[in-house]
Amino acid sequence: MTQRRDVRIEKITRNLPCRLTESELKDFGRRLAVKCEDIAAEESRQKDQKSEMKARLDGMESERATLAIVVRRQEEQRDVECEETFDYELGKVTVTRTDTGEEIRVRPMSNEERQQPLPV
């Protein structure tokens, strides 16, 4: 075969579609299955993290709301030691704060409370 002198041939590389062999197809299938599992695991991990982050944020928002109420009202609910005074003559029970001396409640004695304890 004689070569023509007015033709030039150069080697080049092009990205073209190629049919896969059975072995290549199986390999791609395995890689695809692994990637699907990886994606599902990552989505689950992110969902769990979002739930944890949401719970932390909800806790912070709840605490903020509680603090805002305390600041707005300029008071806070606390356990305070009190005394109950049973006045048998008036038939009343008076509840008094021991820290401030403030009377916070006066109520009638119940029938049970009207029974004075016997001296021992």
Residue 36 shares a structural domain with residue 68 = yes
Q: Is residue 120 part of a domain?
A: no
Instruction: Give me the chain's average pLDDT, please.
Output: 94
Q: Is residue 13 part of a domain?
A: no
Domain count, the chain: 2
pLDDT of residue 2: 64
Q: What is the mean pLDDT of residues 45-67?
A: 97
pTM flag (> 0.85): no
| β-pairing verdict for 92-97 and 103-108 | antiparallel
Q: Measured over all CA atoms, what is the biggest interatomic distance in the chain, rounded to whole angstroms?
A: 138
* C-beta of residue 115 within 8 angstroms of C-beta of residue 86: no
97: domain range?
A: 82-111
pLDDT of residue 8: 81
Q: Is residue 39 part of a domain?
A: yes
Q: Is residue 119 part of a domain?
A: no
pLDDT of residue 119: 79
Q: What is the DSSP string of 45-99?
A: HHHHHHHHHHHHHHHHHHHHHHHHHHHHHT-------EEEEEETTTTEEEEEETT
Report pLDDT digits (tens) over 19-40: 999 999 999 999 999 999 999 9
Q: Is residue 15 part of a domain?
A: no
Residue 24 shares a structural domain with residue 72 = yes
Residue 72 shares a structural domain with residue 86 = no
DSSP alpha helices (H): ranges in 8-21? none
pLDDT of residue 3: 62
Residue 26 shares a structural domain with residue 61 = yes
Q: Is residue 58 part of a domain?
A: yes
* C-beta of residue 93 within 8 angstroms of C-beta of residue 84: yes
Write the single-letter amino acid at 53.
M
120 vs 56: which has the higher pLDDT: 56
